[in-house]
Amino acid sequence: MGPDAQPVPPDVKPEASSRHRWQAAYIRRLAISDSAIIAVAVFLAQWFRFGADSGGVSADGLGNYSYTAVSLVLIAMWIAVLSIFRTRSIRVIGSGPEEYRRIFVSTVRLFGLIAICSLLLQIDIARLYLAFAFPLGIVALLVNRWFWRRVIARRRARGEFRTSVLVVGNRQGVVNLAENFERGSADGFRVVGVCTPGHNSDANEVITVRGRSIPVLGDEHDVTRALDVVGADTVAVTATEHLGLDGMRKLAWDLESKRVDLVVSPGILDVAGPRLSMRPVAGLPLIHVERPRYHSAQKFAKTSFDIVFATTILILISPVLLAAAVAVKLTSPGPILYRSERMGLYGEPFPMLKFRSMVQNADKQVDSLMQDNEGAGVLFKMRDDPRVTTVGRFLRRYSIDELPQFLNVLRREMSVVGPRPPLRREVEMYDGTVSRRLLVKPGITGLWQVSGRSDLSWEDTVRLDLSYVDNWSMMGDVLIVAKTLRAVAASDGAY
C-alpha cells in the first residue's frame, strides 16, 4: 500500500506534528507558575512569622543564618522535589488524579524530611514558619494545576492540544478503543486512522465512531506507511496476537526513529492506575491487576472521612436545612422528610432521607405515569414530572432535597461518595455484573453524579458505578466531591 492508496479525510492529512512543541511550552509554563507560587508561599510564611525582621535560625556547630537564606534554600528544595517526583511528567499532566497525588506526596515528604533533619541536627526552625508555608503552598500548587487543567481541557474541546493516534488491531478492538478515546475527550487522544489484519488495500474502507469516519489504512504490516499518511503522534496496539512477539519488537524499533510513541491496550476497561503494575517475567512485560480493596485500612479511612465530612457539612448548612424544612411544610400538605427505601451494602434495605419534593403519596402515581418514563434501563425519570411541587422543583434544581442524606451517612447506611442508591425493584432486575454495585455503600454523590446525572444512559450509569466499586480511593473521593460542587452549581442533569 502506498500513501496515495487511500483517500484520507481533510482533518487527518499529515502535518508537521506540533505535539512536542505544545507539550514543552505547557511544561515550561507549569514550571514557572509552580516556582512563583512556592516563592510567594515561603516568603509570605516568613513575613507572617517574623514580619519585617527576618530573624535567624541556629544550628549546633553550624552558626546562625537569616531566614531569608533559609527561605531560599526551602524554595530550591521544594522546586527540586517537584521535579524529582515528576509532577510535570507528560504522562500525568492534564488528566486523572495522579498529578494531584504526586504534588501532595512530594510536598509531604519534603516537609517530613525537613522535620527529621532539624531534629537530628538540632536546627531550630520556627514551627509556625513551616506550618504556614506547608498548607499555603500545597493548596496553591493544587489550585494552580487545576487552573492549567481547565485551560488544557478548553483547548482540547476546541480540537487543540490533541494527541493523534493510529490504532492497530482487529476491527472490534479498534472500534472499542476509538470509542473510549472519544468518550474520554479530556485526555486528548484522537484516532486519525486504523490498521486491521486482513484489510484489502484496494478497498476504500472506513470505520464510524460516534458519527466520525476514520479511514482504514492497511493491515498490521502497513503501520509505518500509514504514519506517513496521517502523521500520527502515537501508535496504539490492541489485540496483539496478529503481530506476535517479533512483530511487536520490530514495530517498536521502527517507531523509534520517527519519534512516535507506542502504547499497548491490554483490553481491560475501567481499571484505575493504582491497581495496575508492570512486572517483567522471563523477559515478558506482564501487567498485574490488583484485586479491588473493600476492607482494611482503606475502609477505615473512608469511614472516618464520611463521619468527619458529614458532621462538618451538617453544621455548616444547618440554616439551609431549617429554611428548606419550613418551605416544604408551609407550601404543601404532608411530612417534611420523605423516606425512600433503598438498597444499601450487600443489598440490605434502609430508609434514604430526602426533603419531600413531590405531592403526598406520589409513589402511588408511578404506574399511571410509566408510559411517559424518560429514564434509562430500570430507572424512572421524567423531566416535567407533574408530581413535583413548586418548592420541590427548586430544591431539586440545586440538590437541596438530598442534603438530609448526610444523616444517612452518620447512621452508616450511606457514604459521601459511592454508587447511586438503587431501589428494590432495580436490584431485583440486576444481573450478576450489576450486582457488584452492592459491594460498597451507596453514596450521596459519585461518578454518575459528576458525569451527567439524569442525562446518563443506563449503560453509562452502570459502567461508572462498577468502575467506582473496583477502583475507589480517597484521592478519587476528594476529586469527586470537588466536581460535585461544580455540577450542582451548574445544575447539570438535575430535574
Mean pLDDT of the chain: 79
Mention every residue, 6+ apart, whose C-beta is less than 8 A from residue 442. 342, 343, 344, 414, 415, 418, 419, 420, 421, 422
Q: Could you tell me if residue 1 is inside a domain?
A: no
Phi, psi at 261, each rounded to 5° = -75, 150
163-168 and 234-238 strand pairing: parallel
Lowest mean pLDDT among 9-13, 290-294, 471-475, 491-495: 9-13
pLDDT in tens, 373-424: 555 555 556 666 777 888 888 888 888 889 999 999 999 999 999 888 888 8
216/260 same-domain check: yes
Cα distances (angstroms) measured from residue 258 to each of 227, 252, 265: 9, 10, 21
The DSSP output letter for 439 is G
What is the arithmetic mean of pLDDT over 479-487?
80
For range 57-85, the mean pLDDT: 79
Identify which of 102-106, 157-161, 426-430 has the greatest average pLDDT.
102-106
Confirm whether 189 is domain-assigned: yes
Q: What's the CATH code of the domain at 194? A: 3.40.50.1980
- Look at residues 123, 157, 191 and tell me which one is the last residue of a structural domain: 157
* Residues 305 and 410 occupy one common structural domain: yes
- Looking at residue 254, its pLDDT comes to 82
Whether the predicted pLDDT of 139 surpasses 50: yes
pLDDT (0 to 100) of residue 76:
95
> Residue 291 falls within a domain, yes or no?
no
Share of the chain above pLDDT 90, in %: 21
Residues 182 and 263 in one domain: yes
Same structural domain, 116 and 208: no
Higher pLDDT, 464 or 116: 116
- Are 476 and 429 in the same domain? yes
Q: How far apart are CA 233 and CA 256, in angstroms?
A: 12
Whether 441 and 344 have beta carbons less than 8 Å apart is answered as yes
Same-domain status, 247 and 324: no
- 278, part of any domain: no
Domain end (from 249, 267, 285) = 267
Which residues touch 143 (CB under 8 Å, ≥6 apart)? none
- For residues 152 and 170, state if they share a domain: no
Residue 39: which pLDDT band, with cuts at 50, 70 and 90?
Answer: very high
**Is 459 or 370 the better-scoring residue by pLDDT?**
459
Distance CA(3)–CA(8), nearest Å, equals: 10
Model-level pTM?
A: 0.63
Ranges 178-187, 233-242, 293-302: which has the least confidence: 293-302
**Residue (of 184, 232, 233, 234) closest to 209 by Cα position:** 184
Same domain? 99 vs 136: yes
Q: Give the highest mean pLDDT range of 124-138, 288-302, 463-477.
A: 124-138
Mean pLDDT to the nearest integer, 9-33: 69
CB atoms within 10 A of CB 158: 8
Name the nearest CA neighbour of 229 among 417, 13, 450, 480.
Answer: 13
* Residues 144 and 230 reside in one and the same domain: no
Q: Of 458, 468, 470, nearest to 431 (Cα)?
A: 458
Residues near 80 by beta carbon (within 8 Å), at least 6 away in sequence: none
Angle of CA points 439, 443, 444, to nearest 5°: 170
Residues 290-339: pLDDT tens digits? 656 655 667 788 888 999 999 999 999 999 999 999 999 998 888 899 88
Same domain, 79 and 148: yes
Which residue in 183, 214, 166 sits closest to 457, CA to CA? 183
Domain endpoint, select from 157, 186, 213: 157
Q: Is residue 290 part of a domain?
A: no
Average pLDDT over residues 155-161: 78
Domain hosting residue 479, numbered range: 296-490
13 belongs to a structural domain? no
| pLDDT > 70 fraction of the chain, expressed in percent and rounded | 76
Does 201 fall in a domain? yes
The larger pLDDT score, comparing residue 186 to residue 57, is at 186
pLDDT of residue 326: 94
335-381 pLDDT, tens digit per residue, is 899 888 899 888 899 999 999 888 877 666 566 666 555 555 555 56
pLDDT band at 41 (very low <50, low <70, confident <90, very high): very high
Please tell me which of 60-69, 246-255, 311-320, 386-395 the model is most confident about, judged by mean pLDDT.
311-320
Q: Cβ distance 33 to 146 under 8 Å?
A: no
Does the residue 108 lie in any domain? yes
Same domain, 347 and 427: yes
The answer, yes or no, to whether residue 475 has pLDDT greater than 90, is no
- What is the total count of domains within the chain? 3
CA distance 214 to 193: 6
Kindly state whether residues 193 and 106 are assigned to the same domain: no
pLDDT of residue 432: 67
Mean pLDDT of 218-244: 81
